[in-house]
Structure 1
Amino acid sequence: MVKPKKHLGQHFLKDQKIARKIVDALSSDNQGRPILEIGPGTGVLTQYLIELYGSSLVLIDIDSESIVYLKEHFPQLKDRIIEGDFLTKDLSARMGEKYSIIGNFPYNISSQIFFKILEEKDHVVEVVCMLQREVARRLVSPPGSKEYGILSVLLQAYYDMQYLFTVEASVFQPPPKVKSGVIRLKRNNVKHLSCDEVLFKKVVKQGFQNRRKTLRNALKPLNLSDQIKAMPILDKRAEMLTVQEFVELTNELAAGGGNSTI
């Protein structure tokens, strides 16, 4: 049996009903589309994914002990079990043009996983995942809430997001110290934002660096022009802005608001 490893943030789900519920949260239009499971561990989700997606399923896990276990218990997957780090692997050739992701994400790298998904946003059409409940709520939170942050804005720019349900700590081995949440991301119709997307990311990140400050103060490192400084929107804090307002602010900066040195 695979032993959960603390340094990998492993907490193995042991409730079969919840495992099935997570798998069923994938949209029905995924039939025929490649599915990537991140961190399958002992295969509690894998067993149900095989039933639905068969040869379309690919697994990736960084834990060599889990890889051995998975190959022994799911021999039908053969060469579709990848040992490696999702954060550093280039899976484009293996997964194809469009694919979906599912997994019980390790708490300690869940944010990094989402930044990688953003890099692959033109290929990743859907994500169903379980992660720390507070993080899950933060990602799907709307503008104006204290949880709304950098990843909330960046992900909601390209994905429609939904918090699905909460999972108690007692259904894991070992049980984590916090509850978990399951969320779903579905790619929206925005292929490209109507602004400089590199500058957009800088504006969002800088805006939330000092989230208690108004944007007029938080964005000082971007060398704002006097014209931009006078804009009423800069009286707000970053957490108050919608994705579209960040896009509009980015366009104003690009048109004559100054240059970023960060």
Structure 2
Amino acid sequence: MKKYKPSFNKPSAKDDQGVRAKKHLGQHFLTDENIASKIADTLSYEGYDKVLEIGPGMGVLTKYLLEKKSEIHVIEIDTESVEYLESNYLHLRGRIHEKDFLKHDLSQIFRDEQFAIIGNFPYNISTQIVFKVLELREQIPEFSGMFQKEVAKRICEKEGNKTYGILSVLTQAFYEAEYLFTVPPSVFNPPPKVDSGVLRLTRKDNFTLPCDEKLFFRVVKTAFNQRRKTMRNSLKIFNLPDNLREDAIFGLRPEQLSFQQFIELTQKIEPYAISGK
């Protein structure tokens, strides 16, 4: 495939210097072209024709996304990065959104359309990005990108491990989670102090829970907030009857339960929690 080359206006001094990474925004700009290309290839580009990149910076990933047969949008909170992209990526004209991803109403960009999300995510907001994706899962069939390695591993972790937690259960209830590859600090400017990890989430065909969704989230969060306790003790707040609390599942600790078991547990609790019995 012919490589995309950004369309340049006559560069300004700021363009020549690039964009300054800003610590308060958690910016670490990827500089390795091969890794950028590999990340762009993590999406299937099937079942949707629009892609949103979060935090494109100077566009090292963006240019590989623009090779794909999809309509690429980028959302960037950093004004300096936006100015750079507008000057150097003319193909993105009208699709550069200077907004805060966590606060912006994405229906203003995509309405009810299906779209994928990708990016080199700032470490300081990466988990919040995942929670927003879960809220918008009816529109997001696929999600991939780079996180701090520890966070990426946690999202993809299975039950029975210490790193398995709230984010693991809630994400895996709706998406198939795959840890793809590790990225060293040396390929960033400035380099972070830890390794990064790239993952992919693929929405499950049946991503509607067979239980009350709000209660499911509450049960998972309540259990892991006291992860050293058994479910019998950590879920006392629900005032469940003694005969129900004798069920074997209540003798387990939260990291021992798969997301399917958390769904089953929520179904057991639901008649009491919802009705107030």
Q: TM-score, normalised by structure 2?
A: 0.90
Name the structure 2 match of 1:27: 44
Tell me, in whole angstroms, the C-alpha distance in 1 between the residues paired with 2:144 and 2:274.
Answer: 39
Q: CA deviation at 1:115?
A: 0.6
1:2 paired residue number: 19
1:174 aligns to 2:169 (yes or no): no
Greater alpha carbon shift after TM alignment, 212-221 vs 116-125: 212-221
User: How far off is 1:256 after superposition?
Assistant: 3.0
Q: Choose from 125, 133, 137 the match for 2:141.
A: 125
* Matched residue, 1:86: 101
The structural deviation recorded for 1:94 is 1.6
Distance 1:198 1:23, change over 3 A: same
Contact 1:227–1:257 (CA under 8 A) maintained in structure 2: no
**Counterpart selection for 2:210 from 194, 215, 224:** 194
Larger helix proportion, structure 1 or 2? 1
* Distance of aligned partners of 1:198 and 1:258 in 2 relative to their CA distance in 1, 3 Å threshold: closer
Change (3 A) 1:83 1:28: closer
Which whole-Å CA distance do the structure 1 matches of 2:237 and 2:123 have between them? 32
Residue pairs, 1:1-262, within 5 angstroms = 1-29=18-46, 33-53=49-69, 56-95=71-110, 96-256=112-272
- The 3-state SS of whatever aligns with 2:66 is helix
Find the aligned partners of 2:117 and 2:227 in 1 and give their Cα distance. Answer: 31
- The alpha carbon displacement at 1:220 in A equals 1.4
Pick which of 63-72 and 84-93 moved more: 84-93
Residue aligned with 1:212, SS: coil
Task: Return the index of the structure with the highest Cα Rg.
Answer: 2
**C-alpha separation in 2, matches of 1:163 and 1:78:** 33
Measure how far apart 1:258 and its partner are. Answer: 7.8
Q: Structure 1: any 5+ residue segments left out of the alignment? A: none
Instruction: Give, in angstroms, the shift of residue 257 of structure 1.
Output: 5.9
For structure 2, the 5+ residue unaligned runs are 1-17
Distance apart, 1:138 and its partner CA? 0.4
Q: Secondary structure at the match of 2:181?
A: strand
Residue 199 of structure 1, CA deviation: 0.3
Distance in 2 (alpha carbons) for counterparts of 1:28 and 1:120: 18
SS for the counterpart of 2:228 is coil
Corresponding residue pairs, total: 258
Which structure 1 residue ranges, 4+ long, deviate > 4 Å from structure 2?
Answer: 257-260
Q: Once the two structures are aligned, what percentage of the paired residues are identical?
A: 52
Q: CA RMSD in A?
A: 1.4
CA contact (8 A) 2:166 2:224 kept: yes
